Amino acid sequence: MNDKFYNREIVLTSDGSSSIYLPEFNEHYHSTHGAVQESRHVFMKRGWEEVIRGKSSIEILEVGFGTGLNAWLVYEETLSGNSPEVYYSAIEAFPVTTEMASLLNYCSPEQKAEFMKLHEADWNAGITISLQFILEKIQTTLADFVPFRKYDLVFFDAFAPRVQPEMWTKEVFDKMFAAMSPGGILVTYCSKGEVRRNMIAAGFTVEKVPGPPGKREMLRAVKSDE
């Protein structure tokens, strides 16, 4: 076990929402300018909103379940009545404890039990959270992960390249490309040139798009229709 990833502190970001800080790496799970606003911009606006058009069901893969924020935002969307059915797969090598998760402020007190279902769900099994949302959390590293579905949308939310450079290689994006459906979209907060080049080398069509507050750009990669 890498203890450095388990030395964690809950902090507040500038929009008032929680994040987790790793002092050993001087790394936050989210933008300090706002955890929720970052996730809404990067993963929901640039990924979810584009993928769901015209679909009755979608497959999502999240690389880095973390605090469960991205999964929660998608789950909330499925409650609207206008959402496709979602099978949400998420890999995580260093799970957040349920005790720490219970201290995060992404929902109202009335919604806390619903949010905690995401963290209390068994690992390595598909769990029906609602009729529209099935969650499968896989406790593994990305290197050991064997994709077993074809994904329409990938939330690539790994720690930054300076912390986990092995997560941003061409080989990783080769794996992501092979695991995605034609027309699938991968979105990430990262905009580094080397990451963009690795995505392109793996076969993606990649564009830099405006990032969330505090970040000028982010990357959006598409697997062209075959």
DSSP 81-114: SSPPEEEEEEE-SSPPPHHHHTT--SS-GGGHHH
52 falls within a domain: yes
Q: Which of 13, 72, 60, 61 is nearest to 37 (CA)?
A: 13
Q: Which amino acid is at 138?
A: I
| pLDDT exceeds 70 at position 1 | no
Contact partners, residue 71, CB within 8 Å, separation at least 6: 62, 65, 88, 90, 118, 135
State how far the Cα of 162 lies from the Cα of 135, in Å rounded to an integer.
30
pLDDT, tens only, 17-59: 999 999 999 999 999 999 999 999 999 999 999 999 989 999 9
The CATH number of residue 155's host domain is 3.40.50.150
Q: What domain count does the chain have? A: 1
- List the beta strands (DSSP E) in 15-139: 18-22, 27-28, 57-63, 85-91, 126-130, 133-138
The proportion of the chain whose per-residue pLDDT surpasses 90, expressed as a percent, equals 93
pTM for the full model? 0.96
Mean pLDDT lowest among 2-11, 61-70, 167-176: 2-11
Burial of 100 per CB tally in 10 Å (0-12, 13-18, 19+): middle
What is the band of 4 on the pLDDT scale with cuts at 50, 70, 90?
A: confident
Average pLDDT over residues 172-176: 98
| pLDDT exceeds 90 at position 106 | yes
Q: Which of 139, 155, 147, 128 is nearest to 61 (CA)?
A: 155
44 falls within a domain: yes
Q: Which amino acid is at 153?
A: L
6 falls within a domain: no
28 falls within a domain: no
What is the band of 225 on the pLDDT scale with cuts at 50, 70, 90?
A: confident
| pLDDT of the residue at 172 | 98
| pLDDT exceeds 70 at position 215 | yes
State how far the Cα of 180 lies from the Cα of 187, in Å rounded to an integer.
13
C-alpha distances in Å from residue 64, one per residue of 54, 162, 200: 27, 16, 22
29 falls within a domain: no
Taking only Cα atoms into account, the Rg of the chain, rounded to an integer number of angstroms, comes to 16
Average pLDDT over residues 168-194: 97
8 falls within a domain: no
| pLDDT of the residue at 2 | 63
164 falls within a domain: yes
Contact partners, residue 222, CB within 8 Å, separation at least 6: 183, 184, 185, 186, 204, 205, 206
| pLDDT of the residue at 82 | 84
Contact partners, residue 152, CB within 8 Å, separation at least 6: 51, 55, 58, 59, 60, 180, 181, 183, 184, 185
State how far the Cα of 56 lies from the Cα of 213, in Å rounded to an integer.
32
pLDDT, tens only, 200-209: 999 999 999 9
Q: Give the range of the structural domain holding residue 141, as residue numbers without chain letter.
A: 35-222
What is the band of 6 on the pLDDT scale with cuts at 50, 70, 90?
A: confident
Number of residues assigned to the chain: 226
What is the band of 183 on the pLDDT scale with cuts at 50, 70, 90?
A: very high
Q: Any idea what the Cα angle at residue 40 is, between residues 19 and 16, rounded to 5°?
A: 40
108 falls within a domain: yes
pLDDT, tens only, 56-76: 999 999 999 999 999 999 999
The proportion of the chain whose per-residue pLDDT surpasses 70, expressed as a percent, equals 99
Tell me the pLDDT of the chain averaged across its residues. Answer: 95
| pLDDT exceeds 60 at position 90 | yes
